[in-house]
Amino acid sequence: MANTQNDKRRQAQGAKKPGTQRTARSGNVRKSTGAAGGRLTRAQRMELMRRRRRYVLFLLAVLAATVIGIIALVISAVLNKDTTREIQESETVSQDVQNYKPMIEKYAADYEVSGYVDLLMAIMQVESGGQGRDVMQSSESLGLAVNSLDPEPSIEQGCKVFSQLLSYSRQLGCDINSVIQAYNFGITYLTYVSEHGKVHTSQLAEDFARDMSGGETVTYRNDLSVERNGGWRYNYGNMFYVELVRQYWSGNVEAESAGENADSGETSDKAGETPDSSSEAPASDSSRG
């Protein structure tokens, strides 16, 4: 009887084993299938890498564009600030000079330099401050002694000389600063600049004055000279002349281009004359300021 019960238990246990094995095998199959399903193919991995690379490149491009934009804004702000400062720091010509404006406009029109009235007023400010007889210090350009002319003929001669210098500078391809400095140094300075790059620089003015003075220096103290060299200049004209004039003239494009017709070859008989360099001396020392 006991043996019979043991046999039945063994048979029952034997009958459960196949089921258990099938279940285990089924589990293994499920596990194996799951592992295979989670694996990416090589093509899929390559595609994923390409997508990531494109995304990274896109982010870098956005970052670079942002940085460039910020740099451009900063540069623009600095340039605008400098321009505004230059205009704001331009000093105003004196009332004595302002009183001569109608007369300057008259002769500037006669010599076709109406677009440079403000510059001519700045030159007068540096030359005389609108005081005295020879307000444009133009007597010497006629071979006369200093202060020989009265205000009106001085202004007429000053406008004439400026017009001639401007016309000659266009023939040579020199800039407006060269014209300003030549009003003080004489027409030979334009030739000098045309042979040394066609653009006025403070170094060119200094070199020219050194050559013309034979290296002789004189004490000359103002804010410009003290800052640059301690307070001296060469004893020929004033090598700081452009800086002095530009204290009273902002030099905007409209003023420089207004009334210019030399490029088309249209100049009046008055404006078209070229000064005689053999008789022209510097307008003055222009040590004012």
> Looking at residue 172, which CATH number applies to its domain?
1.10.530.10
What pLDDT sits at residue 284?
A: 54
Q: Are residues 209 and 120 located together in one domain of the fold?
A: yes
Q: Are residues 4 and 132 located together in one domain of the fold?
A: no
Q: Are residues 183 and 254 located together in one domain of the fold?
A: yes
Q: Is residue 242 part of a domain?
A: yes
Residues of the domain holding 26: 1-32
Residue 43 confidence (pLDDT) above 70: yes
Q: Is residue 258 part of a domain?
A: yes
Structure confidence at residue 287 as a pLDDT band (50, 70, 90)? low
Question: What's the pTM value of the predicted model, to 2 decimals?
Answer: 0.64
Q: What is the pLDDT of residues 19-29, one digit of tens each?
A: 444 444 444 44
Q: Is residue 288 part of a domain?
A: no
Q: Are residues 144 and 58 located together in one domain of the fold?
A: no
Q: Is residue 198 part of a domain?
A: yes
Max mean pLDDT range (20-29, 66-75, 179-188)? 179-188
Q: What is the pLDDT of residues 89-110, one digit of tens each?
A: 568 999 999 999 999 999 999 9
Q: How many structural domains is the chain composed of?
A: 3
Q: pLDDT higher for 165 or 15?
A: 165
DSSP symbols for the chain: -HHHHHHHHHHHHHHHHHHHHHHHHHHHHHHHHHHHHHPPPHHHHHHHHHHHHHHHHHHHHHHHHHHHHHHHHHHHHHHHHHHHHHHHHPPPPPHHHHTTHHHHHHHHHHTT-GGGHHHHHHHHHHHTTT-SS-TT--GGGGTPPTT-S-HHHHHHHHHHHHHHHHHHHHHHT--HHHHHHHHHH-THHHHHHHTTTSS--HHHHHHHHHHHHTT-EEE--SHHHHHHHSSEEESSS-TTHHHHHHTS----HHHHHTT--GGGT---HHHHPPP-TTT---S------
Q: Are residues 265 and 218 located together in one domain of the fold?
A: yes
Q: Are residues 139 and 108 located together in one domain of the fold?
A: yes
Q: Are residues 56 and 197 located together in one domain of the fold?
A: no
Residue 238 confidence (pLDDT) above 60: yes
